[in-house]
Amino acid sequence: MPPESPEDAGPPLVRWLRPPRPAAGPGVWRTGHVPKPPEDPDRLGDRELHGTAALAAIVGWIVWSLYANGYLGFVLWPLEWLGLDSWGGSTGGITVLYLYELLFAAFLAYAFGRVGNGLALWRRWRPDLLRLLTGRPDIPPLPRGAALRATAALLGCYAAWRLSFRGVWEFWLEPFYAVVPDSWWQDGDTTAYTVGYNLYYALYAALLLALATWLGGWRAVLRHFPLAPRLRPGAGATPGERAELARRADFTELRAAGANRAAERLAADLRDGRMSDLDYARIEHAWRLVRARPTALPTFDDAAAAEGAAAFTHPSGARDLPARTAEHDLLTRQVRIGHAPDEDRNPYEYRGEAVALDPTVLGTSLLAVGPPGSGKTGRVIRPVVEALCLQALTGQAAVVAVGTARSGLGPDSAFDIVVRVGDPASTHQLDLYGGAADTDEAATLLAEALVGGTRADPGEAAAALIQLIGPYQAAYGHLPGVPELRAMLDGAPALLATLREDLALAGAADQQRDLDARVRQAQRPDDLGPQLADRLALLDRAGFSHPGRAPAFSLSSLTHPLRVRVDLPAGGHAEAGRVITRLLLAQFTAAAVTRPDRSLFACLVLDDATAAVTRGTVRGLTQLRPNNAGAVLALRTLDDVPAELRAGLLGAVGCRMAFSGITTWDAEHFARAWGTAWTEDQETTRTPDRTGGMVRRLVRGVRRAFTGRDTTTESVTVRRVERERWSASELAHRVPPRHAVVSMTSVAGEPSPPVLVRLG
């Protein structure tokens, strides 16, 4: 069996904790990420680099062969000037000649190494060689002085070994012959002589090696490049990585704070495999809260010591999701969505890197545009919902996922609340007003949803609604439901008369004036009341609310780590679904801003945001970032957004995704949003070749007679020009299937250029 690799050593959770997670740009998968060196603008291609190196090696070998065969006698002129011929075949002369030839060989290796870009070739292959030998491609290079010292000692050891065992140096045998009896070798090569000679041979070779090791500082080199496999956790790692692994796996920070019992129990659960990555992330989050409030340390110590990996469980009791379909890292809170191909269209720092999403980029909101079948739901929306559900189980997020029953946003057991609009068996129903206690706010949110997809003024609609919602609450102590509000907007005389009488009994004279004003305005031919009533009728027919059923869910509950899924009505209620989507988006943007506790990351995920974007929601999206909240909006096309709001929507979100198959006019909006960049533009000019004498003209004439083409000369002009990062034509026609062009911005304001990502 081969030796156990470092990645297989230790318990599973320790293997998960071991990889480094350095800081990286927005959207870069940090687990095991190795920062790239600065980009070299003069970087040679693989073919040119390896071809040049091979050609230089061949030429260098030919030069050495010519010297070895006596064709380059001038190389020995310096020795002849020093009188080497007078030394004859003495040991000193042969030694000097051999050392001179070794220096000449080293000079040839250096000279042709420079010509063949040997340093660039070493830098290109160095990470792969280090990964093969040590498992660590990020080991820094040796200092220049240490490298020269080790190389010089290696060459000196090689020269001494060759001179000693090729019969030039014989003084090293004199101690052997001085102690060996004459009978061992005078009678021939006896067994004793052979054994003694070989032992002395090995002892002398070991002495040379030890001397070279001491002179060249090889022990420091071997410590710098650990060639032995790392069979135990943390072996061969840097001191900083070992300290970080000890902090994570041995809970040294808890011990230093005095929570020894908790540290012992948690470390035992980790070693025995009773702790999962979600348990670890949940306990790590609880410990961060304790560091912010040290008075809670005794409670934390007692709970962790008593329950171990099951401490601080989510109120639902769940310690994981029923299934995971994407790759997650709960330490960095990232979910991997794809891989950036290593090609020229991608920025250098993202080439070959895995791409991920996390709250630091989702906090700026995400807009994904692509036709059906492009992978929006299965490769982006579903992984994001799954990641947020996992983070909710660790107590760090609250998520509301909105889609149809066919969207496949996750099984029912993965959510705490499942609202099925129009299903009488649903355990919850939606709150029409999103938990708003103020009647003006409730009317504004409802008006945004009802008239958002029309040309009606939301402010005028809100004024009409407040004239009914306010009196109704003053008379009965609660806001009206869909049937009651619809009837009042239709102008039901009996209901309005009863409401007026109840207001009189309640002593709400000011609300009576609002009700009378609504009755007067209802007589106008351009009154919005009938239009609002028709919109509410859509919700009523879709089964939005059923009196006496289960409690209503409101988005004001996002101060708790909830996992909520809303299934929109199916069948012929598409317009009602759009109204509900607008209603949820408006309520979310309002609730996220007014939350008293913003420690949880709140996110609304809309699998289909068709006709959900209004002026109010665009303004609300810009306010989510400073309030630790974000929205994920998926659209089939930007035509589902009013033309005057498309530029504002692209500017309000920090993350933009254009999937393969989008139309050219959609691509134009993304191209303008991503702007331009300076690049080198090459122009090639071909002109007929008219140079040369009679022979060259004859050759060109024969070639034209056979090929039908004139001989041309090429001239290349290189200019720096400002071009679009991704043109509309490239976005529409050059993005392969199952790919998307993604740009991200972190909540700290760090942007990333658009990156081509292979999803999955």
**Quick one: which H or E segment has residue 631?**
strand 629-635
Q: Which two tokens stand for residue 552?
A: 């209503």
pLDDT at res. 135 = 64
What single letter denotes the amino acid at residue 338?
Answer: G
> Which among 588, 139, 188 is positioned nearest to 398, based on CA atoms?
588
Provide the residue type at 538 as one letter: L
Residues in the chain: 760
Tokens 């002892």 -> residue: 203
Does residue 487 belong to any structural domain of this protein?
yes
55 contacts 112 by C-beta, under 8 angstroms: no
Token pair, residue 659, equals 């999937």
Task: Answer with the one of 534, 567, 591 that is the final residue of a domain.
Answer: 534
Dihedral of the alpha carbons of 553, 558, 564, 566, in degrees to the nearest 10:
60
In a domain, 2, yes or no: no
Tell me, yes or no, whether 417 lies in a domain.
Answer: no
Residue 81 belongs to a domain: yes
What's 312's DSSP letter? Answer: T
Task: Name the domain boundary from 70, 90, 116.
Answer: 116
What sign does the dihedral 329-335-339-340 (CA atoms) show? negative
- Structurally, how many domains does the chain consist of? 4
Q: What is the pLDDT of residue 2?
A: 36
Quick check: 323 and 732 in contact, CB under 8 A? no
Rounded CA separation 389/398 (Å): 8
564 CB-near residues (< 8 Å, 6+ apart): 398, 399, 400, 401, 415, 416, 417, 418, 419, 553
Q: Determine contact, residues 582/449, Cβ cutoff 8 Å.
A: yes
The residue among 292, 310, 328 that closes a domain is: 310
In a domain, 494, yes or no: yes
The residue among 588, 656, 597, 654 whose CA lies nearest residue 399 is 588
Rounded-to-integer distance, Cα 328 and Cα 385, Å: 12
| pLDDT average per 10 residues of sequence, the chain (760 residues) | 45 85 92 81 73 87 87 76 61 71 84 84 76 66 78 80 67 61 57 70 80 80 62 49 74 88 91 91 93 89 91 92 93 95 90 94 95 92 96 95 89 92 85 85 89 82 90 88 88 85 83 86 86 89 74 87 91 85 92 89 93 89 94 94 92 95 94 86 78 78 74 78 88 94 94 94
In a domain, 630, yes or no: no
Domain membership of residue 287 (yes or no) is yes
Decide if 446 is inside a domain: no
**Contact present, 327 and 749 (Cβ < 8 Å):** no
| Residue-range definition of the domain harbouring residue 260 | 250-310
- For 416-483, the DSSP string reads SEEEETT-TT-S-EE-TTTT--SHHHHHHHHHHHHHTTSSS-HHHHHHHHHHHHHHHHHHHSS---HH
Give Cβ neighbours of residue 456 (< 8 Å, ≥ 6 apart).
Answer: 528, 531
